[in-house]
Chain A
């Protein structure tokens, strides 16, 4: 079974700082990759997704992620965070091996942005 690791459980940044959240997965085949965001008291929303093609994926609100297949990584980045980015971020992996396969979520990284 695949697994997803998010090594940073809690990140605190000042506004305008750059952000990089790590995500590594363990599955050797083709995957779809996702980042979801959960704002305080809300449900998870899709931030960005990778299916194929350009490994640098751009999402909403200035976020981007880079898929590095050789490293089994899909790190999330933002050049300059805002207070409104305070949220929990989840990486998710969906293996592609015929039909729909269950998504595995990481345990999440809580981001706190200090004004």
Chain B
């Protein structure tokens, strides 16, 4: 099915471990985004990408790494997870009229 998918949907990990969250879209949208959603903070932009091999920092990039070797994939890696990175992570891509399409989210718990 066309759309934007994220995996895993739920993840529990320990402090210090590396975690990669996957995002895949089937629309060939150029722009893709990673957000984290925390109570009281709304959505905060972590990283975004304008096209394959073009990425840039958002509002809260520290502790995260992204890559985009193919247009359809935009993985987010937590190099050494910390408790403060416990959050719900949403991937999104931008459509023709600048509207954002969101994935279902990944709920990450860092113990």
Residues of chain A whose beta carbon lies under 8 Å from any beta carbon of chain B: 32, 34, 36, 42-46, 49, 51, 90, 92, 94, 100, 102-103, 105-108
Contact B100 A103 (CB under 8 A): yes
Contact A94 B48 (CB under 8 A): no
Contact A90 B43 (CB under 8 A): yes
Contact A100 B42 (CB under 8 A): no
Q: Known contacts A90-B43, A105-B43, A107-B41: does B105 contact A43 (CB below 8 Å)? A: yes
Number of A-B pairs, beta carbon distance below 8 Å = 48
Contact A34 B99 (CB under 8 A): yes
Interface residue? B75 (CB, 8 A): no
Q: Report Cα–Cα, A46/B30, bound state, in Å.
A: 19
Contact check: which of A94, A105, A107 meets B98 at CB < 8 Å? A94
Contact B50 A100 (CB under 8 A): yes
Known: A42-B104, A43-B104, A43-B105. 14 other contacts (CB 8 A): A34-B99, A34-B100, A36-B102, A44-B43, A44-B92, A46-B100, A46-B101, A90-B42, A94-B98, A100-B98, A102-B58, A103-B98, A105-B43, A107-B40
Chain B, Cβ-Cβ closest to A1: B59
**Chain A residues whose C-beta falls within 8 Å of the C-beta of B92 in the assembled complex:** 44
